Copies of this chain bind each other. A is one copy, B any other.
């Protein structure tokens, strides 16, 4: 006997899981399409050199690698690797299919990615990302529309309180320079600043010193970051960076994004937060992260990455994207009871029962007729006691059982039993579809 559990950190999705997942994916995809984003799909496996070196040291370690095949299998070498995110494949696609794609390419992609991370609560080795990206333009309309699209998607799923934290890589650079942190220490300082939520001002202050940032720079930084973000934060940051060119242009960009968002579904959602850093190294401009109250971590994030595609295309191609994490959205929706009660979870509207084996042909005929009226119909495949079949339907929440007795078959009738009310009616076969639909719809409200 073989082991029966799925691979570590991966999950089987039983029907109820798939229905919930498909519902959420459908809503998100629908909103993305409303914003003019088009669907893209890429293979689960990429040539290994496509992925290596794109995600930093940790990424290289967490990539699932696929063994060469045939005579090369014994070499123990890998030539393929599983998709690690949806951004690098997009960059590759932009280079490979440039001629077939429009100058402004807005795509969404909702597919699984794989990371050999240590599994933990809510952290899996196979999980879905729901990405939107715009490739081509650099105008702040792009960022505003991305924020609007993910805001509208979350609102459509029933999220009421969420916030998009917004910052800019250029501003972070300007702030660090203005505080006198040498360029070589920027990356390290950002890692420390990113922990402000968890460690507080004192903790971060200590860590900055440990990371070799000088005391006077630490003091200046915490002057700025120690103040909770507010409507004045942009002005405070502006005062901080003074006439630093990169900083000034970053602030102008951020102000444009905030202003534009006032006219979109992201209105009132965006909060400038100078301490937001985002881990990925490929960001070059605005960065965003979406949070909900009472949930550690984020539901998604993104930013502008104007240089990544150039690694594949051989020419710079600006881009900006936002990614929603499906698994966390599902966890929150499950915990907070956010799935619509009308989401059909039962396997069928009608169970066609069968008392004797020689009624099977009749049962299939009844099923055909009911399906033609748009109903989802399961045929109980074995002849069995009617009580047992009703029990099966009831356990599976199928609202109606069609009963074919000898009398009914001879008369061309069918008896319909509605399990919620116990009500039962005998109708002619050509009336059956309409009868079930009325009653089932009524019962569902």
Decide: B104 and A50 in contact? CB cutoff 8 A.
no
Tell me which of B12, B114, B371 contacts A35 (CB under 8 A).
B371
In the complex formed, the residue of B with least CB distance to A145 is: B379
When distances are taken between beta carbons in the complex, the residues of chain B under 8 Å from A62 are 69
Chain B min CB distance to A436 (Å): 13
Is A78 among interface residues, defined by CB-CB distance under 8 A?
yes
Is A140 among interface residues, defined by CB-CB distance under 8 A?
yes
When distances are taken between beta carbons in the complex, the residues of chain B under 8 Å from A375 are 34
When distances are taken between beta carbons in the complex, the residues of chain B under 8 Å from A263 are 361-362, 364-365, 368
Q: Which of A342-369 contact B (CB under 8 A)?
A: 347-348, 351, 354, 357, 360-365, 367-368
Is A202 among interface residues, defined by CB-CB distance under 8 A?
no
Q: Which of A45, A126, A367, A383 has the most CB of B within 10 A?
A: A45
A5 vs B93: C-alpha distance when bound (angstroms)? 8
Q: Which of A91-147 contact B (CB under 8 A)?
A: 92-93, 95-97, 100-104, 106-107, 112, 114, 116, 126, 134, 136-137, 139-142, 144-145
Decide: A314 and B368 in contact? CB cutoff 8 A.
no
Decide: A381 and B139 in contact? CB cutoff 8 A.
yes
Tell me which of B40, B61, B134, B262 contacts A70 (CB under 8 A).
B61
Chain B min CB distance to A433 (Å): 12
When distances are taken between beta carbons in the complex, the residues of chain B under 8 Å from A35 are 371, 376-378
With A44-B114, A49-B3, A265-B368 already in contact, the answer to whether A381 and B100 are too (CB < 8 A) is no
Tell me which of B3, B34, B141, B378 contacts A106 (CB under 8 A).
B378
Is A264 among interface residues, defined by CB-CB distance under 8 A?
yes
When distances are taken between beta carbons in the complex, the residues of chain B under 8 Å from A134 are 381
A142 vs B66: C-alpha distance when bound (angstroms)? 38
Tell me which of B66, B74, B139 contacts A82 (CB under 8 A).
B66
Is A252 among interface residues, defined by CB-CB distance under 8 A?
no
A262 vs B140: C-alpha distance when bound (angstroms)? 62
Is A73 among interface residues, defined by CB-CB distance under 8 A?
yes
Decide: B67 and A41 in contact? CB cutoff 8 A.
no
Copies in the complex: 2
Chain B min CB distance to A90 (Å): 10
Is A439 among interface residues, defined by CB-CB distance under 8 A?
no
Decide: B311 and A2 in contact? CB cutoff 8 A.
yes
Interface string of A279-313 (1 = CB under 8 A from B): 00000000000000000000000000000000111
A100 vs B5: C-alpha distance when bound (angstroms)? 14
> Which 9 pairs show the lowest CB-CB distances between chains A and B?
A76-B76, A36-B378, A10-B43, A15-B38, A18-B39, A4-B96, A13-B41, A36-B348, A4-B95
Sample of 17 more A-B contacts, CB < 8 Å, known A12-B41, A137-B382: A1-B314, A3-B47, A10-B45, A14-B93, A15-B107, A18-B40, A34-B376, A34-B377, A36-B351, A36-B378, A37-B347, A102-B392, A103-B392, A104-B392, A145-B381, A152-B371, A264-B367
